[in-house]
């Protein structure tokens, strides 16, 4: 458990350092037993330490009293873990380049580079109005909304959230972080390419083959990103 907590703290720092998370957003990892997950208390990801992590059940509630304020959107994670046993880690972000694809109809978010093959030929879009009505604050703050999001995600690795951001899943913490980072990179490339002309996207077969090839080397990216992020984290704490 200690190693898992350390890795989750590092994941928070990486995602901030890679400009996927800012003061908001969160990353979680399923516990070894499978019926709970680790999540930071309600705080900025760049400042998370292993001591800030809370174990939460699949009902979205902490297993033990901690006295900490929790993230309001922990039900994103609890309901996906409940619905998808194969998912081992989740990143929810408001990644700037990804958000435009959640609000423009007729422009699907698709894989344009081999590093983002997991995106495939399209990503579903969760619209909170469908279940929450027209007066929500856009946040997934109940199990019912979390279940609807999990249903929209279905068998995909990623779901967009209209006017909000995205949620990315992985079979491991390193894979989820890898996917979250390359989702933002793919979005930037797609936005840039679309301004030049018609975009040639990866085919379904190319996307699948690329995902198998690149994600098998996620540890290489993790080692580099972790070193950069931990140096930045130490500097931030000393400032």
pTM of the model: 0.96
Q: State yes or no: pLDDT of 1 exceeds 70.
A: no
CB count within 10 Å of CB 198 equals 7
Q: Name the more confident of 204 and 231.
A: 204
Report the mean per-residue pLDDT for the chain. 96
Q: With H, G, I as helix, E, B as strand and everything else as coil, classify residue 138.
A: coil
Q: State how far the Cα of 203 lies from the Cα of 205, in Å rounded to an integer.
A: 5
- Of 49-58, 61-70, 154-163, 215-224, the range with the lowest mean pLDDT is 61-70
- pLDDT digit string, tens, across residues 68-96: 999 999 999 999 999 999 999 999 999 99
Domain ranges of the chain: 2-238
**pLDDT-based confidence at residue 239 (cuts at 50, 70, 90):** low
At 236 the pLDDT is: 80
Contact 210, 119 (CB under 8 A): no
- CATH class, domain 2-238, is alpha beta
Q: State how far the Cα of 230 lies from the Cα of 79, in Å rounded to an integer.
A: 31
- pLDDT digit string, tens, across residues 11-37: 999 999 999 999 999 999 999 999 999
At 81 the pLDDT is: 98
At 125 the pLDDT is: 97
Q: How far is CA 133 from CA 64, 74, 128, 193, 194, in A?
A: 33, 20, 7, 35, 33
Task: Say which of 55, 73, 204, 215 is annotated catalytic.
Answer: 73
206 annotated active-site:
no
At 237 the pLDDT is: 77
At 67 the pLDDT is: 86
At 196 the pLDDT is: 97
- pLDDT digit string, tens, across residues 112-134: 999 999 999 999 999 999 999 99
Q: With H, G, I as helix, E, B as strand and everything else as coil, classify residue 151.
A: helix
């Amino acid at each position: 458990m200690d190693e898992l907590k350390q890795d989750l703290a590092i994941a928070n720092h990486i995602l901030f350092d890679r400009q996927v998370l800012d003061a908001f957003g969160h990353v979680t990892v399923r516990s070894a037993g499978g019926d709970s997950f680790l999540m930071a208390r309600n705080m900025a990801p760049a400042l998370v330490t292993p001591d800030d992590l809370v174990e939460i059940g699949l009902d979205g509630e902490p297993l033990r009293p901690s006295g900490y304020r929790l993230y309001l959107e922990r039900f994103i994670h609890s309901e996906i873990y409940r619905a998808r046993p194969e998912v081992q880690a989740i990143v929810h972000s408001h990644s700037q380049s990804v958000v435009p694809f959640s609000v423009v109809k007729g422009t699907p978010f698709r894989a344009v580079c081999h590093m983002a093959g997991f995106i495939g030929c399209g990503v579903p879009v969760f619209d909170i109005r469908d279940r929450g009505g027209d007066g929500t604050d856009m946040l997934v703050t109940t199990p019912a909304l979390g279940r609807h999001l999990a249903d929209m995600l279905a068998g995909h690795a990623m779901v967009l959230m209209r006017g909000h951001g995205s949620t990315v899943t992985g079979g491991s913490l390193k894979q989820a972080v890898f996917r979250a980072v390359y989702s933002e990179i793919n979005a930037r490339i797609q936005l840039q390419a679309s301004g030049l002309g018609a975009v040639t996207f990866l085919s379904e077969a190319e996307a699948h083959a690329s995902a198998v090839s690149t994600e098998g080397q996620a540890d290489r990216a993790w080692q580099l990103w972790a070193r950069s992020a931990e140096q930045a984290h130490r500097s931030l704490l000393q400032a």
